[in-house]
């Protein structure tokens, strides 16, 4: 999988959040978008995922065979974990997992029970998500991203709300993703991307 951004930018009213973004991202690599709060990391991730449209320029998705995908089909190839991403709070954990699997199958046919063990929340499988702590919700978001069988994984502020044990769990599982998937991280916390060789400063996309 390949994502190509050419002169891409996003403008809200009169302010350019990011502009003149030129990127060429490949499967088997990890990329981290860095910059202070408000620099445009999340906006750029939303552009790359197709959740918001570009104001100028283009973003393309190419398969391993070089075929360009239509924007309406990108969602089939990507997964996003971010603290601002809502989870369905009326579901139990088991219900949420089964619902997710209908749209994004798990790797190696992972069962719901195995997933619950993977995120270390087997004891909460029948608990309503609304009653989860913020850290538990973030672990679920990350687990769904780690285990979804898709070529592209986006992680925005991945260790938000995680304790020290949760941060280590994240690091243990994020590194293997880069061997077979394209991983894009938005972060200003070095511990979240210490393994990543491709660091991209979003501040470089702030030209007027």
CA atoms within 13 A on the CB side of 54: 21
pLDDT band at 208 (very low <50, low <70, confident <90, very high): low
Under CATH, what is the fold of the domain 2-205?
Rossmann fold (3.40.50)
**95-115 pLDDT tens trace:** 999 999 999 999 999 999 999
Residue with tokens 């991307």: 193
Q: What's the CA gap between 206 and 55, in Å, rounded?
A: 14
Q: For residue 174, which of 124, 133, 122, 139 has the smallest C-alpha distance?
A: 139
Q: What's the CA gap between 74 and 10, in Å, rounded?
A: 19
Give me Rg for the CA atoms of the chain.
Answer: 17
pLDDT band at 207 (very low <50, low <70, confident <90, very high): low
Reduced to 3 states, what is the DSSP secondary structure of residue 182? strand
Asked whether residue 3 carries a pLDDT value surpassing 80, the answer given is yes
pLDDT band at 20 (very low <50, low <70, confident <90, very high): very high
3-state secondary structure 145-167: HHHECCCEEEEECCCCCCCHHHH
pLDDT of residue 114: 98
Asked whether residue 152 carries a pLDDT value surpassing 70, the answer given is yes
Taking residues 82-103, report their average pLDDT: 96
**33-50 pLDDT tens trace:** 999 888 899 999 999 999
pLDDT of residue 64: 85
CA angle in degrees (0–180, nearest 5) for 157-193-8: 65
Taking residues 11-35, report their average pLDDT: 94
Token digits of residue 31: 């990329």
Asked whether residue 206 carries a pLDDT value surpassing 80, the answer given is no
Q: For residue 118, which of 156, 193, 170 has the smallest C-alpha distance?
A: 170
Neighbours of 91 (CB within 10 A): 16
Q: Give Cα 2 to chain centroid, integer Å.
A: 15
DSSP H/E element including 198: strand 198-201
> In this prediction, what percent of the chain has a pLDDT beyond 90?
89
**126-146 pLDDT tens trace:** 999 999 999 999 999 999 999
* Ordered DSSP codes for 2-68: EEEEEEEEEEETTEEEEEEEEEEEETT-EEEEE-STTSSHHHHHHHHHTSS--SEEEEEEE-TT-PE
């Amino acid at each position: 999988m390949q994502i190509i951004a050419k002169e891409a930018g996003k403008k809200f009213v009169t302010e350019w959040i990011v502009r003149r973004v030129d990127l060429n991202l490949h499967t088997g690599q990890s990329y981290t978008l860095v910059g202070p709060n408000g620099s445009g990391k999340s906006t750029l991730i939303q552009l790359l995922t197709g959740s918001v449209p570009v104001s100028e320029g283009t973003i393309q998705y190419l398969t391993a065979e070089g075929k360009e995908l239509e924007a309406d089909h990108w969602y089939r190839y990507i997964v996003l974990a971010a603290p601002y991403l809502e989870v369905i709070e009326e579901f139990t954990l088991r219900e949420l997992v089964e619902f997710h699997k209908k749209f994004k199958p798990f790797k190696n046919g992972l069962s719901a029970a195995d997933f619950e063990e993977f995120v270390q929340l087997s004891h909460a499988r029948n608990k309503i998500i609304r009653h989860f702590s913020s850290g538990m919700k973030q672990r679920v978001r990350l687990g769904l991203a780690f285990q979804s069988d898709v070529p592209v994984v986006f992680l925005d502020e991945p260790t938000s709300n995680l304790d020290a044990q949760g941060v280590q769990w994240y690091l243990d599982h994020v590194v293997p993703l880069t061997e077979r998937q394209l991983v894009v991280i938005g972060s200003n916390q070095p511990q979240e991307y210490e393994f990543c060789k491709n660091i991209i400063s979003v501040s470089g996309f702030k030209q007027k």
